[in-house]
Amino acid sequence: MKKREIKNIILNIKENYSLLIIFILTNTINGVLLRLITIKSSLKISAVLFDLAILIIISLFTFLFKTKKRRVKYLFIMTILITIICIANSIYYHYYSSFISVSLIATAIFAKDVSDAIFENILKPVDLVYLWQPIFFLIYIKRKNVICSKNSTFEKNISKVAIFFSMMIMGIGAILVPSNAWGSLHKLWNRESVVINFGPYIYQIDDIVQSLIPRINTMFGHDSALRVVKEYYKNNKYEKKTNEYSNIFEGKNIIVIHAESIQKFTMDLKFNNQEVTPNLNNLASEGIFFNNFYSQVGVGTSSDAEFTFNTSLMPSNRGTVFVNFFDREYISIPKLLNKKGYYTYSMHANNGEFWNRNKMHQTLGYNYFYSKDSYDIDEIIGLGLSDKSFFTQSVQKMKEIKEQQKKPFYGLLIMLSNHTPFSDLELMPDYPTTIDVEINGEKITRDYINKTKLGNYIKSVHYADEAIGELIKNLDEEGLLDNTILVIYGDHDARLDYDDYNLLYNYDPINDKVMDESDDNYINFNEYEYELNRKVPFIIWTKEKEYNKIVEVPTGMIDVLPTLGNMIGIHSKYQLGTDIMNVKDGDNTVTFTDGSFVTSKLYYNAPKGEIYPLNNEPIAEEYINLRVNHSSELIEVSNDIIYYDLINELEKK
């Protein structure tokens, strides 16, 4: 081709197809912005190349439309669609630390019920930044009149070149992607890694394909899943190992408290010499306290915590178990206890439809679910009935159940008041989150975390703790603590702002400022400390206080059934967790839904492949690799069981 011809082609593209180029470039910028705003990583060239390639391909469809008007319309619709994808992912990421999936659409319905929380805490102005693109695009359309003129032969040729070019840049992108990131494209539970390496547009397409493939090709997916799961249980067959805790609580009544959004760090805090959680602290010091305990929830938050607690399976990554897979077979604590002659029930004063509990609590095997309709909604805090009123009314019901059933019981009480946005503070007892300092003999009260989200959270946790204290007193008065164990777990963290923690840990009250690295007392509360701080309490307590222990082994919700089960004399042969009382070397791996994990030696961030050591011990490569594989196996096996209803199938055989 002569120089002049090339010049002509470039001129032709510039004059007639500039709108296409604007479309491609501006949307590429939005792809970069999305990565910057969410995962704070925009630097991976591979992701930019994939974004570019996809946008070139999308823009080529313009040629299918014959009139200028239709072509502009098509490009504008695509622009709006892509902007919506960016905004939705941005908002979703700020709440769930993950990216949107079509398989989660049903789950999103429940977000509607927490709409207050969304508007007050989730939608950040930065999520609307992507709107610059359609605005700019619109202005460009209006001002320039040169848009997509049509010239069939030229378009055919340019399409061929563009397809070749996009394939080429995809090829370069593919070379740049690290080999360990390819798995995430196929398995899709490490969504962040897909966006980091392949960009948001490939991710969104991949998600749609991955959600549809099993539906189209169930048999294929099913067979390989069954093989993987069978193989796993063949290699990890349940073997009964007894220890000094075996059957210690067999036959006792069990009361479980699902403590909404309570994080463990609140138990270590005092304001003006007053503990935030005096009641939880008492229970922890008198019972068995797992002080290194993590919830392992996915987007199903509360419901995922309930699921993993009761089944020792990881939550689903392809939707939410309670919403999308409530019609499968699971082996659960209530079912195992029903077999042992227990009466099992759950109580929660929110709408029974929320998280589809009406259906899922039946699936889990609770004999009865007392939901909102069973309660007199006489005091409202946050999402519904206040915890104090909920507990008072529940104790009366529990008393009746005990009298009528004349069987040991397993009762779950799901708390509600300590739910984000922690704004109904006027209904809670006054708890100071300020700090007093003496300067030149004068007492000055500093605002400290008061009026921050964290400050409001602390007040709300203090209320929840007080409610738990009253509940225990009340249960005792009614004789419901006799021959009973009390189990308390925090269901997940409260998604607090990073800056608030920095204020909490690095505030200098004398100078009324937040310290920085230059200060000797500065605590480096980095993103990994934030992850570690998401710990929640897990306590097993009896009135007699005969078992008193602090367990420091890293423990996850998945370990509850094996550990508590050993104490009450049950087990599930499908349990994927560990009996923590059998752990000899003080180490255990707690896997999170994106493949990240924590052990006694390190925190491993799967999306970034980064390691955060927890002490000065040297860490062997093999130690990490073993756990990376174990975590990936756990997630895969759980997902397969849930998705293909494999327990049902294996039990029938």
Does position 371 interact with ligand GP9 (CB under 6 A)? The reply is no
Q: Which does 457 bind (CB under 5 to 8 A by kind): Mn ion, ligand GP9, none?
A: none
Q: Which does 148 bind (CB under 5 to 8 A by kind): Mn ion, ligand GP9, none?
A: none
Q: Which residues bind Mn ion (CB under 5 A)?
A: 260, 301-302, 491
Of 98, 184, 302, 344, the one binding ligand GP9 (CB under 6 A) is 302
The helix/strand count (H/E) of the chain reads as 23, 22
Q: Which does 347 bind (CB under 5 to 8 A by kind): ligand GP9, Mn ion, none?
A: none
Q: Which does 48 bind (CB under 5 to 8 A by kind): ligand GP9, Mn ion, none?
A: none
- Select 358 or 600, whichever has its Cβ closest to ligand GP9: 358
E strand or H helix that includes residue 442? strand 442-446
- Select 258 or 402, whichever has its Cβ closest to ligand GP9: 258
Tokens of residue 425, six digits: 């503070």
Measured distance CA(537)–CA(259) in Å, rounded: 9
Q: Which does 597 bind (CB under 5 to 8 A by kind): ligand GP9, Mn ion, none?
A: none
Q: Which does 350 bind (CB under 5 to 8 A by kind): ligand GP9, Mn ion, none?
A: ligand GP9
The stretch near ligand GP9 (CB under 6 A) out of 177-185, 413-421, 516-524, 559-567 is 413-421
The stretch near ligand GP9 (CB under 6 A) out of 94-102, 412-420, 509-517, 596-604 is 412-420
Measured distance CA(103)–CA(94) in Å, rounded: 19
In the chain, how long is the greatest CA-to-CA distance?
96
- Select 32 or 381, whichever has its Cβ closest to ligand GP9: 381
Does position 301 interact with ligand GP9 (CB under 6 A)? The reply is yes
| Residue 350 beta carbon to ligand GP9: minimum distance, rounded to whole angstroms | 4
Q: Length of the chain, please? A: 653
- Select 295 or 578, whichever has its Cβ closest to ligand GP9: 295
Site for ligand GP9 in 525-544 (CB under 6 A): none
SS3 call for 269: coil
Burial of 84-101, coded b for 16+ CB within 10 Å and e otherwise, reads ebbbbbbbbbbbbbbbbb
Burial class of 305 by CB neighbour count within 10 A (0 to 12, 13 to 18, 19+)? buried
Identify whether the C-beta of residue 577 lies closer than 8 Å to the C-beta of residue 548. no
| Residue 544 beta carbon to Mn ion: minimum distance, rounded to whole angstroms | 31
For 401-405, which contacts have Cβ atoms below 8 Å and span 24 or more sequence positions?
Answer: 401/343, 401/345, 402/253, 402/480, 405/343
- Select 22 or 349, whichever has its Cβ closest to Mn ion: 349
Burial of 590-628, coded b for 16+ CB within 10 Å and e otherwise, reads bbbbbbbbbbbbbbbbbbeeeeeeeeeeeeeeeebeebb
| Residue 213 beta carbon to ligand GP9: minimum distance, rounded to whole angstroms | 29
- CA dist 230 → 251, 351, 562, 646 (Å): 33, 38, 20, 9
- In 10 A of CB 572, how many CB atoms? 22
- Select 390 or 409, whichever has its Cβ closest to ligand GP9: 390
Burial class of 55 by CB neighbour count within 10 A (0 to 12, 13 to 18, 19+)? buried
Identify whether the C-beta of residue 227 lies closer than 8 Å to the C-beta of residue 457. no
Does position 114 interact with ligand GP9 (CB under 6 A)? The reply is yes
- CA dist 280 → 102, 283, 490, 507, 540 (Å): 40, 5, 11, 26, 11
Of 107, 312, 320, 350, the one binding ligand GP9 (CB under 6 A) is 350
- Select 281 or 301, whichever has its Cβ closest to ligand GP9: 301
| Residue 141 beta carbon to ligand GP9: minimum distance, rounded to whole angstroms | 42
- Select 116 or 447, whichever has its Cβ closest to ligand GP9: 116
Q: Which does 121 bind (CB under 5 to 8 A by kind): ligand GP9, Mn ion, none?
A: none
Measured distance CA(67)–CA(59) in Å, rounded: 15
Does position 354 interact with ligand GP9 (CB under 6 A)? The reply is yes
- Select 302 or 394, whichever has its Cβ closest to Mn ion: 302
Does position 308 interact with ligand GP9 (CB under 6 A)? The reply is no
* Angle (CA) 327 329 331, round 5°: 135
- Select 299 or 567, whichever has its Cβ closest to Mn ion: 299
| Residue 301 beta carbon to ligand GP9: minimum distance, rounded to whole angstroms | 3
Chain-centroid distance of CA 467 in Å reads 26
| Residue 413 beta carbon to ligand GP9: minimum distance, rounded to whole angstroms | 12
- Select 150 or 372, whichever has its Cβ closest to ligand GP9: 372
- In 10 A of CB 521, how many CB atoms? 8
Binding residues for ligand GP9, how many (CB under 6 A)? 8
- Select 465 or 491, whichever has its Cβ closest to Mn ion: 491
Q: Which does 354 bind (CB under 5 to 8 A by kind): ligand GP9, Mn ion, none?
A: ligand GP9
Does position 121 interact with ligand GP9 (CB under 6 A)? The reply is no
The stretch near ligand GP9 (CB under 6 A) out of 130-138, 403-411, 414-422, 457-465 is 414-422
SS3 call for 411: strand
| Residue 380 beta carbon to ligand GP9: minimum distance, rounded to whole angstroms | 14
| Residue 416 beta carbon to ligand GP9: minimum distance, rounded to whole angstroms | 6
- Select 130 or 345, whichever has its Cβ closest to ligand GP9: 345
- In 10 A of CB 163, how many CB atoms? 14
Measured distance CA(207)–CA(201) in Å, rounded: 10
| Residue 580 beta carbon to ligand GP9: minimum distance, rounded to whole angstroms | 25
Measured distance CA(44)–CA(185) in Å, rounded: 16
Binding site for ligand GP9 (CB under 6 A): 114, 301-302, 350, 354, 414, 416, 419
